[in-house]
Structure 1
Amino acid sequence: MQQLIAKFVDEVWYKDHFIGTWLMPLSFIFRDVTRFRRWLYKKGYKSVDKLPVPVIVVGNITVGGTGKTPVVIYLVEQLIAAGYTPAVISRGYGGQSATWPARVNVDSDAAIIGDEPLLIAQQTGCPVAVGPVRADSARLLLENASIDVIISDDGLQHYALYRDIEIVVIDGVRRFGNNFCLPSGPLREPQERIQEVDFVICNGGEAEENEILMQLEGGDAVNMQTQEHKPLAEFRDMQCHALAGIGNPQSFFDLLEKQGVVCQAHPFPDHYAFTEKDILFNAAEAVLMTEKDAVKCRSFSSAQHWYVPVKATVEGSFMEKLIALLKTK
């Protein structure tokens, strides 16, 4: 049922714009409520927490994934190379921790703290904490006095936390769908919000004016049981299945297709809670999935299961500009 609902919503927001127009009155209400809510924070009627170190928010204005997590990982790696000691905070979407905020370790349970924070911790080794109140998560991490910058994975609309730099990531292929706010479209805020952020990163497709192009690249697969690395080219003649529970599953299937790997595709909703039944294909020679999905499936995976790690590459002088701006904060 969850997959059917996700498919229907995707059709309405990104393909069949006619259905979305019937919900436009609700979208107008949602738009005005979001504007009013932000106005309350701007005018001081709602309190804003300011941390003792700069905060970089990596978010989006659409529902669903746009590639924020690879950008966060890229930022952590680049900031460490530049001499900073970053830490990451996140909502921990879908996490079931009994107490918040919660620290994330490389061996944490994705069901408890969320799939994306676990992936960030495993890939970067930097301090990560999750919780609904991001300022509380940050303070937990700031007990380590060496931390000098906080990166918020998502949270553009979490105005209770003061941010020094805002980065918006957009899906360069799907972009803003029908350009309507929820519920008739995918926008969390009106598209005009883009004009107020510091950087706009375009994930794939063609970057428009004032956007920074990012590409996600992956050429290998890693076996989930043996950790063997194998070029994707070696899967071209195999009977493969591919699954993806991310914001835009088609982007993963397209990545495989570009490598010449033809798979039977199985899209799932973002942050989907996989079970063994979901990933078991007896006739398959290989089952390929995203690394984000793999952190939730490792405990019931088999030798037929592989994940495809991806790396973000960002064009031009983005990091130079970001670090120059960070030094002014």
Structure 2
Amino acid sequence: MPIHNTNIITLLDNKIYPGESKEISFDIAKLHTATTVNVPIIIERSKKPGPTVLFTAGIHGDEVNGVEIVRQLIAKGINKPKCGTIICIPVINIFGFINLKREFPDGRDLNRVFPGSSKGSLASRVAHKLINEIIPHADYIIDFHTGGSGRFNAPQLRIANENKQLNDLAKVFGAPFVLYSKNVSKSFRLSCYKLAKPLLLFEGGKSFHIDDMVTNSGINGSKRILHHLGMLSSKFTVSAPKKDSLFIDESKWIRAKYSGMFKASSFIGIAVKIGDTLGNITDPYGKLNYVVKAQNDGYIINVNESPIVYQGDALFHITTKLKH
């Protein structure tokens, strides 16, 4: 377990001493109106040495449920460690968050430009500064995301397969599902992997939405990780997950066979059998009523909640192979 000594941490030219609480600004650029945009970073240090944990959210500006999880970690004081340091960045893509858009003003997806460049696009410059000035201080990273385009994700962690450290941390976190997925090219997760910084990527809920079940899963998992590292204040209780996490080796999407009005009749997280009715696609004129059925046994880990779908749209994400 990495242990930092009690020396001063210098973050973005700010000195943070043992036992100090500090809010600093992660500034990249002003708005086109010349208005300054501050991206707050909240740092809490114990007087006792220990690991440094970084909580991040809002890489995509429309994923507000992740922002809510980090906000609650701060508001409840969970981010005040018994030892070590906790760094919270509730909203990385503040430009997208202001406009409730996924991308940066330059049209780029921040999670596809890492490790970035100091002379690149706006998104690329943010990625570069994050990787070079924040990440070197972190021993562990938990990055919060949500589903997009009306698709609701069951609370889940996404990690690369065959990584024992991440596997062990995922078991401690205790999300209902752990989905093995490759590190995507130019993603935040891949850049942290190349720097040997263990990162748990949490997915849950959908864009423009805050869900209590998802929020609680993220908060409880974070508390379990901090407790595991000996960092959680004794005033907080840690509850064991209701069930052990299900580790998913393979999964597939059921896609819409027709365009039309869509209504799901199955719920997120439940087990289904092949042939089970999952929902219906209808048309506005009462002529079509297509029943969407499960194509295999498994668990539903994502549901499309859009009332209108087009042929080929993803409707349900269902596990096909669990790791035993």
Shorter-chain TM band:
under 0.3
TM-score (normalizing by structure 2) = 0.25
Larger RCO: 1 or 2 (CA < 8 Å, sep 6+) = 1
Greater C-alpha radius of gyration: 2
TM-score (normalizing by structure 1) = 0.25
The structure that is strand-richer by fraction is 2
The structure that is helix-richer by fraction is 1
